[in-house]
Structure 1
Amino acid sequence: MNHRGRVSPGTAAPAEERSCSWLNPWVFLVSVLAIKTAFVTICLVQISELVNVTVSYAQYKTLLQNATEWRCVPSGPCDRKESWMCCLKGWKHFQNSCYYLSADKMSWAESERNCTGMGSHLVVINTKAEQEFLFNWAKGVVTNAYETKYYIGLTAYENGQWQWVDLTPYKKAATFWKPGEPNLLFAEKCAAIHIKGNTDTNTYSNWNNILCFTSCYRICELEVKFV
């Protein structure tokens, strides 16, 4: 009786081994999960530190994927929020704008419609630097013509008062009329850059007012896109 009720030391060992073998996988699993959690946390911290550096490049890639006709150049250090400047293909960048010189001629109204159809407008010239850039660019394109005119976004349709297409206030101090221009305002109510051959040195005073139905080249302007 006593012999059958007693548990000998030899019978206790297998039970203990069974208990340990049941616990060990759970301890191992918890350890693995703890290590993986720490690893993921470290990775997330490192990734978050890289986000500010890579966001501009990601936006740049998205822009190229969505509009393959854009051309982008770096505008500054890569850690800046906006570090790429983009213009449409075939347009030229200067300061904060993109410019397009047409290869065909139209009236002033047709020229403005053509520019707005591309999401832009006839150029609005605000500074001497912009005027010089446009003049030198156009002069370099027109190499053989005796004289060439490019429409700009300036008209005197209303009461003979000059007005920019984007409603920028007209300031005489910021204009670049040729000597004696503008004249004949009762008829000639549209402005154009007037270039006399590629040797023309008259950089700052070459605007001319002309009849608005005259067929001329045009300069369109679009704000540069920052990404």
Structure 2
Amino acid sequence: HSTPELIEEAVYGLTEHYRDAIKGARLVACPGCYPTAVLLALLPLAKGKLIAIDDIIIDAKSGVSGAGRTLKQNILFAEAGEGLSPYGIGNHRHVPEIEQELGLAANAPVTINFTPHLAPMARGELCTCYVRLAGKASASQLRKALADAYAGSPFVRIVEEGVIPATQHVRGSNFCHIGVFADRIAGRAIVISAIDNLVKGSAGQALQNFNLMYGFDETLGLEQLPLFP
């Protein structure tokens, strides 16, 4: 690290969960796009001990802009179009970040299975999280916990029951849509989150944090509607 002396000072910039700390921060470390989508979906559930923290599987898909703008063969149109492929299998760089934050929320070590996929689209990110319910928790309790956690958060929406989050519903916006579904297997649930990796997963969240740091309304400059259809 080029400036290790600043590490202790940095505040983790997942806005909805560190809002108060961000307001008084001099240095904010904004999360990666995958951690943003996954943690918004799972942090309230881990904190509420509603899910088993030793049995979390995450299937994630991102548009090619998630790989940056540097020229790479696998993100050329002729290579990425008309296909879907996994990458970073078993060792993606965002896994430690996700495990760290889930562990802090659960107050216990967390290990996840995470596999990202490159989807043939420019932008957008969809994370499907497979979880085992803890104790007598139900999918409806998971939904309520998420709704309660984000009741005062302008950019996180818990979609209506039966509505499936989709990347086109948040494209070009700072919104995160989260849905909860009961699995056909007893004692399991599926939590799905959708964001635009270039906005909520990147520049939008950075601006949201900037607004908080300097005393502006956190929605300033971020209330644009999704680009759909």
What TM-score range do you get, normalising by the shorter chain?
under 0.3
Instruction: Output the TM-score relative to the length of structure 1.
Output: 0.26
Q: State which structure, 1 or 2, has the greater radius of gyration over its C-alpha atoms.
A: 1
